[in-house]
Amino acid sequence: MSKHQKLLPLSPVPLYSQLKELLRTRILDGSYPAHSQMPSESELGAIYKVSRITVRQALSDLHKEGLIFKIHGKGTFVAKPKAFQNVSKLQGLSEAMSQLGYEVLNQLLSFKFVKADSQVANRLQVPEGTKVAEIKRIRLINREPVSLEVTYVPQLIGEQLEKADLITRDIFLILENDCGVALGHADLAIDAVSASGELLKALNINEGSPIMRIERLTHNAEGVPIDFENLYYRGEAFQYRLRIDRHTNN
């Protein structure tokens, strides 16, 4: 019983919410491994000393997040976790995922200064052929490669990124904290493509595997484009989530 951290009944955080966080941590750290059966509602109630209603609310939230699934008449099981990023707010992968208890690391494939081709020049609003920095990184979540990221930034920013820690840090946070750039908004285009070329080795996948591709153009607070990226996510390993409203205030 000692391995079960106690909930805090006097905390302002509701008990079901504490229980949900605790169970989520256990699932993500492997204490409850993928495909294993979760303890029953009454067992969980006994272990964590909470009512069945509290257990049910916590499980219902975990179910909505896709962390557990139910098999009728058999009980509740741990899902193979499919990582997802909530993209209602502009965040780097590490920033977003570490809040959910995932560890993000990067493998730097290449960092070089190249001449902007017509697409890069158009997006960064510089003349074609202008020197820009090209950065290729594999991003790993819990040590598994989930995406290849190809980033283009203007030369001056590139020279600062060159000195920064690109293995553990998001480029967004380096821009904000080391380069003093205030980030504004990003325009995203999302589609699906088949894996080929350098993606195969980078993501350890077969030719033709489904890839979620994101073209992302990030602007500073003044609206100037400063960071043009193509992100290639392994389709079966990652998801974007967002909320859209019918009526917006724009």
Q: What is the binding site for its own copies (CB under 8 A)?
A: 63-64, 69-72, 82, 84, 87-90, 118, 122, 128, 183-194, 208-213, 221, 233, 235-236, 238-246, 248, 250
User: What's the closest the beta carbon of residue 77 comes to its own copies, in angstroms?
Assistant: 12
Q: Which is nearer to its own copies, 21 or 176 (CB)?
A: 176
Q: Which is nearer to its own copies, 1 or 244 (CB)?
A: 244
User: What's the closest the beta carbon of residue 66 comes to its own copies, in angstroms?
Assistant: 8
Three-state DSSP class for 220? Answer: strand
Cβ atoms within 10 Å, residue 134: 17
User: What's the closest the beta carbon of residue 9 comes to its own copies, in angstroms?
Assistant: 29
Q: Helix axis angle, 52-64 relative to 41-48, nearest 10°?
A: 110
CB neighbour list of residue 145: distance below 8 Å, 6 or more residues apart: 107, 138, 139, 202, 203, 204, 234
Q: Which is nearer to its own copies, 29 or 187 (CB)?
A: 187
CB neighbour list of residue 105: distance below 8 Å, 6 or more residues apart: 139, 140, 143, 167, 168
User: What's the closest the beta carbon of residue 137 comes to its own copies, in angstroms?
Assistant: 20
The kind and range of the H/E element at 249 are none
User: What's the closest the beta carbon of residue 1 comes to its own copies, in angstroms?
Assistant: 32
Q: Which is nearer to its own copies, 33 or 210 (CB)?
A: 210
Measured CA to CA, the distance from residue 194 to residue 208 in angstroms comes to 5
Q: Which is nearer to its own copies, 19 or 211 (CB)?
A: 211
Measured CA to CA, the distance from residue 59 to residue 77 in angstroms comes to 11
Measured CA to CA, the distance from residue 40 to residue 190 in angstroms comes to 40
Cβ atoms within 10 Å, residue 234: 21
Measured CA to CA, the distance from residue 227 to residue 86 in angstroms comes to 20
Q: Which is nearer to its own copies, 72 or 163 (CB)?
A: 72
User: What's the closest the beta carbon of residue 22 comes to its own copies, in angstroms?
Assistant: 22
